[in-house]
């Protein structure tokens, strides 16, 4: 029983940590959001917001910059290019 309670507490804390990764007013690379709990589908949705072109490759979505307008609500501001073209921790395109 104690092990189950410990696991549930750890799971709740891990979920809360993911819930606040996308801080309002900050930019992030797609790979950083993906590594911290965002699915590729949710990143594609964020990239498609307000656009008619939603056919985005995994490499492009992971190497795009996203702006968090509020907690857990990123939208894509630019695509940097291919593999390794978006760098961080402060997101920027590497050319």
Mean pLDDT per 10-residue section of the chain, whose length is 95 residues: 37 42 90 92 84 76 90 86 88 91
Fill in the DSSP letter of residue 84: T
Please count the helices (runs of H) and the strands (runs of E) in the chain: 4, 5
pLDDT on residue 22: 87
pLDDT on residue 50: 57
Which string of DSSP letters, residue by residue, matches 2-42?
Answer: HHHHHHHHHHHHHHHHHHTSS-TT-EEEHHHHHHTT--HHH
| Residue listed under structure tokens 């921790």 | 89
pLDDT on residue 20: 53
CA angle 10, 73, 78 (to 5 degrees): 120
Full-model pTM? 0.73
């Amino acid at each position: 029983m104690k092990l189950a309670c410990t696991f549930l507490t750890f799971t709740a804390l891990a979920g809360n940590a993911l819930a606040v990764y996308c801080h309002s007013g900050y930019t992030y690379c797609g790979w950083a959001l993906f590594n911290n709990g965002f699915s590729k589908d949710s990143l594609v949705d964020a990239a498609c917001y307000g656009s008619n072109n939603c056919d985005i490759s995994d490499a492009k979505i992971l190497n795009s910059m996203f702006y968090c307008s509020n907690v857990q609500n990123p939208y894509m501001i630019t695509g940097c290019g291919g593999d390794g073209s978006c760098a961080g921790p402060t997101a920027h395109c590497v050319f």
